[in-house]
Amino acid sequence: MNKTIFEQMGGTYTMQGDYYLPDLTLPPEEERQIGVWGQRRLHYLKQYHKILYYNLFTSGKLRSHLADIEEEAQSLFLRLVKEYAERESVTEQLKAENPVEWVRRMNNIRSRVIEVIIAEMVRICEIT
């Protein structure tokens, strides 16, 4: 009996009832932390870009892709919050003099930055 291409490439089969099923496994992925930005990216890929999601998943690159997005988004978040706060004069002095106003303005800045990052994550997906 001739070997199949799968067997020639080193693949094996397991008997399940009356059928031989190929022994398929996904490549191992490195363990990296995925936070809120990585989870949002994962949800976006699953919902709007299924082909890219499955390509990353089956190649073993999904976790590293999500972790990279997490790192980029987190650094962008911190940088933009700092830039917006400086541009709008939200300083430590304001925090000491009027804490309620400082919290209101910082929450507004954080909300706008979150909107920017979500839009950037979508645009990044369109490019890749």
Q: So what's the pLDDT on residue 120?
A: 82
- Spans in the chain with pLDDT lower than 70: 1, 122-128
Q: So what's the pLDDT on residue 125?
A: 55
Q: So what's the pLDDT on residue 55?
A: 93
DSSP H helices in 19-88: 36-48, 50-59, 62-87
Q: So what's the pLDDT on residue 1?
A: 65
Q: So what's the pLDDT on residue 122?
A: 63
Pick from 85, 89, 45, 95: which is nearest to 65 by CA?
45
Q: So what's the pLDDT on residue 107?
A: 97
Q: Which two tokens stand for residue 99?
A: 């804490």
Q: So what's the pLDDT on residue 21?
A: 80
Q: So what's the pLDDT on residue 9?
A: 78
